[in-house]
Chain A
Amino acid sequence: MIEQLTVLLENKKGRLSGLCRDLADAGVNMHDLFVADTSDFGIVRIFCDTPKRAAKVLTDKGYRAVVTEVFAVRVPNRPGGLADLLEFIDEQGVNIEYGYCFSRGEETAIDVLKAADDTIESKLAEAGFDVVEAKEVYQLD
């Protein structure tokens, strides 16, 4: 599993930039950031180098910040790459709470998923999917 930093922000001008500045001041290096927004709040999901420390720094500063376990799978950068992955998970009867993608390089994309059942990660590995390990994303703290 990979530790993702999750932060609750009010949907208000300047909040996201404030968050990024506070992380920068704490020396946290972000790799990826994804915002899910509703009309009055946003949930910011972040891959960074030190998720636990970052959550603590933010909590001390008065944010609602937690570390959430998710998993990530590297999929080939071609039509149907994601569909294959999701079909497999569906066949296992596992529900996905949310997901998002990012690319690193040309060859593959990384899909981050939060599933209702965490055991899906090992099943994916057994089935030959390229599951991303935590140490590839950040230093293990």
Chain B
Amino acid sequence: MYYQEEIETMPRADLEALQLERLRKSVAYAYERIPLYKQRFDEAGVDPYAIESLEDIKRFPFIVKQDMRDAYPFGLFAVPNSDVARIHASSGTTGQATVVGHTANDLKNWGDCFARGIYMVGGNEDSTIQVSYGYGLFTGGLGAHAGGEAAGCTVIPTSSGNTKRQVQMMRDLKTDILACTPSYALLIADTAIEMGYNPAEDFAVSGVILGAEPASEGMREEIRQKLGVQYCDVYGLSEVMGPGVAMECSASHGLHVAEDQFFFEIVNPDTLEPVPDGEWGELVITTLTRECCPLVRYRTRDVTRVIVEDCPCGRTHRKIDRIVGRTDDMMIIRGVNVFPSQIEQVVTGFDELVPHYQIVLTTKGPLDRVELRVETAPDFPFDEIRALEGLKKRLAAELKSNLQIAVEIKFVEPKSIERSEGKAKRIIDLRNQ
């Protein structure tokens, strides 16, 4: 079942023709209406009216978060205030807040993008969606809300907080789809279990649409099991739109980017050159339909890769992998880009280990030395050294094949690695000391 079958399953050639048509329009629109783009394009000597193919966009300069901060508040708005329907803002914890405006059309397209994900988890106009993202300047709550309304669902705007009431609502109102952050979904599941329910059996909920923070495969599986649901990972960022830029279908292998709305590239964050399909890099987005705040080659700082396959779900829009981190978190070890979440993915793939780890970086002569500290699971039969050495070998081989670098493994005693969800200190870099 598709929300917009014609668009979502459009043959590639038609889709790319649509992208090109919209790209030409959008780039020229940005150039004509926003002085910053005019200045940048002129400086770079690129002609916004001479785009002949999708490849041509690669000649255009990038725009970054700092540009948006510098343009605060209205410097990147392409329409007069009378056409602005809503404004969202980022928290500004890392600097000056950024504001992003939306016209009525922008909001409609946003609702449609998110609604596609509702259909991906089996939802439709008969479904009840509970939106437990925070409502407000943050795009999570209102974005999911708009998606629910576009899909014709019954929307319960619980927002976040008051978890026991969330559980009660979920049970009494027979929520089919829960939309919130992964960590909040887990808290809701655990609270329901504490209250004596088995949500996987007792509740109607059959799908979750979760995003806005990273979740490891281990965490995703825990949520699937505890709630008895299909998991849809939703990607989005307030600068570009909000949740719904890319969503994960029932194949559970990558997120379909709404390519009729966004043109995306993956580039090497150091060289800014495109990487081959399948390689990790920074996601760069050009909006194709945005009216209020069009973006040309916005560097998201989010790291992902293209998943090259014909998706069994029938959608033709290309897929990206789960976001593995931010370019800010990237470590360069022996010249190789490594993200902590890549290591986490390997660790959580081993039942013999508990999902807590620490990475210690030191130098050994001219070389970087990487040590991974992990704990064995309580039921691991460590009595035989052979078992421990065997585990070590398998883990090292798996890390080597995933990261392309050798990692030394050290088994540590239980609880010697700090436990704190999300903000645990995973990386200890002693290389420059």
Interface residues of A (CB under 8 A from B): 6, 8-10, 15, 36, 38, 40-41, 43, 45, 59, 62-64, 66, 68, 97-98, 114
Given contacts A8-B413, A63-B413, A63-B414, contact A38 B382 (CB under 8 A): no
Task: Other than A10-B411, A43-B385, A62-B413, give 14 A-B pairs with Cβ distance below 8 A.
Answer: A8-B376, A8-B411, A15-B413, A38-B388, A38-B389, A41-B411, A43-B383, A43-B388, A45-B383, A62-B415, A64-B375, A64-B413, A66-B381, A97-B384
10 residue pairs from A and B, CB less than 8 Å apart = A8-B411, A15-B413, A38-B385, A40-B410, A41-B411, A43-B382, A62-B413, A64-B378, A64-B382, A66-B381
* Pair A62/B414 contact, Cβ less than 8 Å: yes
B427 close to A (CB within 8 Å) = no
Residues of chain A within 8 A of B383, CB atoms compared: 6, 43, 45, 66, 68, 114
Q: B380, B383, B384, B410: which has the most chain A beta carbons within 10 Å?
A: B383
Q: Which residues of A contact B412 (CB under 8 A)?
A: 10
Count, A-B residue pairs, CB within 8 A? 49
B386 CB–A CB distance under 8 Å: yes
Q: Which residue of B lies closest to A11 (CB)?
A: B410
A22 to B69, CA, bound (A): 57
Q: Which residues of B contact A (CB under 8 A)?
A: 375-376, 378, 380-386, 388-389, 410-416
Q: Is the CB of B382 within 8 A of A97?
A: no
Residue in A closest to B389 when the chains form the complex, CB atoms: A38
Closest to B411 in A: A41
Contact among B378, B380, B381, B416 for A10, CB-based, below 8 A: B416
How far apart sit A41 and B388, CA to CA, in the bound complex (Å)?
Answer: 10
Q: Which of A10, A59, A66 contacts B382 (CB 8 A)?
A: A66
A68–B384 Cα distance when bound, in Å, is: 10
Complex CA distance for A62 and B380, rounded to whole angstroms: 15
Contacts of B376 in A (CB 8 A): 8, 64
How far, in Å, is B406 (CB) from chain A's closest CB? 16
Cβ distance A58 to chain B, nearest Cβ, rounded Å: 10
**Complex: A41 Cα to B375 Cα, angstroms:** 12
Residues of chain A with a CB closer than 8 A to B388's CB: 38, 41, 43
Query: How far does the alpha carbon of A112 sit from the alpha carbon of B276 in the complex, in Å?
Result: 58
Nearest B residue to A67, CB-CB: B383
**Cα–Cα, bound, A98→B224 (Å):** 42
When the two chains form the complex, which single residue of A6, A10, A68 contacts B413, counting CB atoms closer than 8 Å?
A10
| Interface pair B382/A114, CB less than 8 Å apart | no
Q: Which residues of B contact A63 (CB under 8 A)?
A: 413-414
Sort A-B residue pairs by CB-CB distance and give the 4 closest, nearest first. A68-B383, A6-B383, A62-B415, A40-B410
Q: How far is the CB of B256 from chain A (nearest CB, A)?
A: 43
